[in-house]
Structure 1
Amino acid sequence: MTGPRRRLRPPVDPYILALLGMVVLATLLPARGVAAEAASGASTVVVGLLFFLYGAKLSTREAMDGVRHWRLHLTVLACTFVLFPLLGLAARGLVPWLLTPELYGGFLFLCLVPSTIQSSIAFTSIARGNVPAAICAGSFSSLAGMVLTPLLAVVLLGSSGGGFSADSALKIALQLLAPFLAGQLLRRWTGGFLARHRRIIGFVDRGSILLVVYTAFSQGVVAGIWQQVTWPRLLALLAAEALLLAAMLALTWYGAPRLGFGRADRIALQFAGSKKSLAAGLPMATVLFASHASLAVLPLMLFHQMQLMVCAVIARRRARDPEAAGEPAPVAGPGTA
């Protein structure tokens, strides 16, 4: 007799609805003047706090426990920081007949963002894949993204007219990497507190992102973002992102056996190698794009929700595969990172 089936979360994450609510609020009541300056200052502070918490929460020991899966981790990194950017560069042909240069900049940026941690782990668990490998792959991707994402943005977006320079990398170092490293250095004293107050830290984490979204879209609304993004352009963006996600899901799934990975590692590779982190990408976009961040984060927000919905369906199907018989039951629902 089997235990009760664990319910999965709905495809539309409530946090995504909250993010969309911030977009609506910014559209109806954008911050202007002194309020805009205050929101921008607060956003800068909470982004630094957010990356300090990322550094303080990440256990180096947990990350090093998965070193034996180095082939899988390198493959995930290659998918995240090589295949994704190559597909993003190939999409340059969609400009200007489908995507505006500004939307393409955001589309290319999402291709440079690191992979998720929480949702990759959750979907891998649901599909009965290699969960420890997914944990380590997501952690390594996040660590590498602290350096690779801004460097790739400087090289690729700079050459695409994004206005990037060495100053952009310096801003990332000062506003994101420095707090992250400070969190790692102080983890010995802060780790216990964070472990005991995970719910409070979660509120800070998500609340920070909500403020970042409101600030970015307030600036965009004042600059006339909704006059720049028409419905046909938005639908074209969604179609391009659907093709991008389908390509990465296919490459990771069908390419894994050719690299010698078994079923459990194949699942971990598909979910960790085909997804992008909203939590890591949004703060980076506000630093890199400044007043143009609203157009930059729009593609990432849309892609994030799309990947959650599609991967939720795939994870359920993987769990019902005959090969999954005898594997442990899933232990978590999809996350939002």
Structure 2
Amino acid sequence: MRIVSLRVAQFRNYESVELEPHPRLNLVVGPNAQGKTNLLEAIWVLGGARSPRASDPRAMIRFGHPQAVVEARLSLDATGAERDLRLDLRPGGRLFRINGKAITRHADVLGTLAALWFSPDEVDVVRGGPAHRRRFIDLILAQADPLYRAGLLRYVQVLRQRNGLLRAAVKGASASAALLAIWDEELAQSGAELVVGRLGLLRDLAPVASLVYQRMAGDGAPLEVAYQARYDIGPSGSPDAEAVREGLLRRLQALRVAERARGVTLAGPHRDDLVVRAGETDLRHYGSRGQQRMAAVALFVAAWEWMRARLGEAPVLLLDDVTSELDELRRRRLLTVLPAEAQTFITATEASLLEGAGPSPGAPGRTWRVSAGRLELVPGR
């Protein structure tokens, strides 16, 4: 998948810019607070994902303007067909169009422009709380698997209904055992489908991430990624939905008194976690910042490989300021593990921080310099 052309208008500090990205490597350089990250954010939200920097669309609209527009022409790897994608950001929400047709459900846009975003904050997929890791695997699966995306929406709806029943019980309303049992079954069934999808992803992701991590770290400690649930999920290597459903159902029944007291569902995929280790070291608690960052990058590169295999299309890579906290050796190693087949956008304050980017030192590409929301193509690349 490639972005053939991109237009961004009234988005953040951009009045209007148009560019034709290189099919492989695109370097975006300039001082801080000039708009480098804004450009990557525009691509990211065009793909249907929520902005990592703003929950309200109004924050992305240029001050004094009624709406922002991001549109792109995409070329698909498998067929060479082209697809037009447009996003209108308004104070009341987002409107997507694919080939001119309005899309009523935002979830249906995911996967149209498959992408992975990595910034300094994304190291929280290793060092942050469980929600960061759940969001990471859910977004990968939601972009690549429509069935998982539908299952995730269904699980959220069931969880909301069950929590509402439990909250009502806390306030003294009647919550019959029979009614709770019905929602237990619904939650266990839909939750089991999510867990099986996640386990399947990790089974494919973990060995690739370990290889990438070792190439960057330069040592023999393998990276391990394990799924952590507080209920029986059976053998993780061969996930079985029925075994997970029964394990979750038993756990919900055991937690019945505690849930009625607290008014919230205490077990399920919405509370599960991943454990990321290098050898015997739990990187969340005991890893160095360098180890945590390399492990996070390794997970994202492995996710790219998985999505390409699953979609038959190479996702676009958006790498925001990924080299800033690495020494020169690790920076070079990081740049060499990036997939050569990906259309990649990388930002940095100085072009020298990206020396060696791409599959070879002389890799073709384009470089843009950003200043106050204006893009200038740098000659020579």
Band of TM-score, shorter chain: under 0.3
Bigger relative CO (Cα 8 Å, ≥ 6 apart): 1
Larger radius of gyration: 2
Query: What TM-score do you get using the length of structure 1 for normalisation?
Result: 0.27
> Which structure's residues are more often helix, by fraction?
1
Query: What TM-score do you get using the length of structure 2 for normalisation?
Result: 0.25
